[in-house]
A = this chain, B = another copy of it.
């Protein structure tokens, strides 16, 4: 399946695409070892959005399997998990990085963050007043230990690895190429992400 359109997300930045109902969107880790924070909103009512807590309740699992659906705040499918051409390590537990995260890590002055990328991208689309939902953290390696302890490990994706979703409703999909360069989740070297909209 060739990409009819590719949106390049530069390192540390965010981009949005609107995917029609039934359309396919693929998120590609171009260089490997890079986390992509992702959100999906009902294009006609952004208060309805991909919701981690409703998705977990729907699939009885911390993260859906291929073939299962990510659900919205109204418990409706928004994205179907169609393919996973990665080591199948993703996260839906950890908050997107934000200015307070970097402040807490000792950064002085401004640092790019996934939250800022989301808020700017949505504001550019006229949605300046959202509350930040739990992100779907693609490729992010947060192992859950037997005692429910969480680790922070480098992403295991190789260059070109991707995940593919089919939209169950018209959706605004936002992707941030995570700028985290202190905690080693991006192997301390933030790189780019591609959003592909394959020809259907």
Binding site for B on A (CB under 8 A): 47, 51-54, 56-57, 60-63, 73-76, 93-95, 98, 100-101, 104, 130-135, 144, 146-152
Contact indicator A131/B47 (Cβ below 8 Å):
yes
Contacts of A73 in B (CB 8 A): 131-132
Given A61-B149, A62-B150, A144-B144, 7 new contacts (CB under 8 A): A47-B131, A52-B53, A54-B95, A57-B101, A75-B101, A131-B131, A134-B134
Chain A residues touching B, majority SS:
loop
- How far is B51's CA from A132's CA once the two chains are assembled, in angstroms? 10
Determine whether the beta carbon of A60 is less than 8 Å from that of B150: yes
List the B residue with the shortest CB-CB distance to A131: B131
Residue pair A94, B56 in contact (C-beta under 8 Å):
yes
